[in-house]
Chains A and B, each alone.
Chain A
């Protein structure tokens, strides 16, 4: 860990200590240091430092365009950062050979914002896609497994034969959650899991996420700007602003964290240190 990174973490806020302590006592499940990424002249990540302890549920908060999605896409290997270190279980994933990197993906699940279900496949094949694609299971067994996982997210067996296009938004999210957990990953990422859902369905999805993560004993990293969802699914929250983590702390403290940026964001206040860039 660079000194610069330590300084930034120490300045961040009251919740940072918890994360640093876990980082010192054991190898974090996920460790990011000085991660930078620019698209042309636009710098999206400007030195992201983040530790996520094993089994922890971390919520990354931030406004639109603050770099939340790019952060998790960098961890997932969907985007290659320009600089920095990303470690999973102490292994620098950016320097892993491609085959080992792909093997690492076997331990990771991801729920995309819009579900990203494969519309050419029925629901049950979507759910067990990873197991089928790697020939880890026969099609008959995959179907049974899909029914089992669909039940875990509250969906009936008959849903398995439907096409994703035939499902409502809430059902698509549940199928996407089922797909993310079907291969029993030990790290799961959730990208805006409640976006586009009504508040009740949002709460249902959050409940399912918490249950599934607990059942698997997985490490969960979520990104959201839905405060109610953040409090429900996160134990720890990290606030990203202008490509940097500016605060980390308990998710329960959101809204009264003592950090002006976090409190403004959590309470949805117009006035404060975060100024929206509006063209007049």
Chain B
């Protein structure tokens, strides 16, 4: 049983939720009646980004860069072509740049002006990436932001923040964890988290749980 306050709170959220639900429903209905959209196309778009294009693409790029120095060099020189060679192309990945973390420098990617994000390798961005707290603070207090992700960089490691103000889309290549020499690329890719490719995380250590 809810008490009265809980009930009010619940209603408030329901009202907000139904307001957007109704607004989007109205828009889709008008556009469908006018023959301007195909609702099945919307289903296909959603299915693409729920099941086909996501951060496992980027993880395979990183694992290959760790395992194959020639591929890493290609990524440095022409990330768009190197990533396309794995079949990852298209919307919001047309002009890719790969930036490599080193012992000296940690890279962090943000879009302060909107929500630019490399969809072709990371899929749709998480809510926090598009929200004011991250977009406002990443460029002025990246260490404070990293702290909220549980990441503390070694003392003396520099931070480079990349604000995606144009049509270049950035993927961070995190440092390869120690003791992973015996792993194949599939096992290496399992160590690569989405956040490690934005720069708000690090690659997992071998044997570290998800």
A and B assemble together = no
- B interface residues, Cβ below 8 angstroms from A: none
